[in-house]
Amino acid sequence: MSLLLIAALLYLGLAVGFILIVDNLVGLVFRDPRAPLQLPSFDISRAFAASQKLYRK
């Protein structure tokens, strides 16, 4: 039973990974020319800074 559960979780992980890879590749090819190029790391760093600011209060 546990082997079946491990296999199912691995399968779901691979499927989600494959979907994310294909999504990113399609996003690179069919980029919206009107949207500005913004790196996702900027959003993450800004959220982290805000959480640190709230934690200090």
pLDDT digits (tens, 9 = 90+) for 16-28: 999 999 999 988 8
Give the whole-angstrom CA distance, residue 29 versus residue 19: 15
pLDDT digits 0-9 by tens, 32-48: 777 666 655 556 777 77
Note whether residue 55 is domain-resident. Answer: no
Confidence of residue 1 (pLDDT cuts 50, 70, 90): confident
Q: Residue 22: which domain range?
A: 1-30
Does residue 17 fall inside a structural domain? yes
Residue 23 lies in a domain: yes
What is the number of domains present in the chain?
A: 1
Mean pLDDT confidence for 48-55: 73
State the Cα–Cα distance between residues 13 and 38, nearest whole angstrom: 27
Q: Is residue 11 part of a domain?
A: yes
The pLDDT value recorded for residue 12 is 97
What does the alpha-carbon distance between residue 53 and residue 15 come to, in Å, rounded to a whole number? Answer: 37
- Domain assignment present for 26: yes
Q: Is residue 22 part of a domain?
A: yes
DSSP state of 37: P
Whether residue 1 lies inside any domain: the answer is yes
Residue 21 belongs to a domain: yes
pTM score: 0.49
The radius of gyration of the chain's CA atoms, rounded to the nearest angstrom, is 18
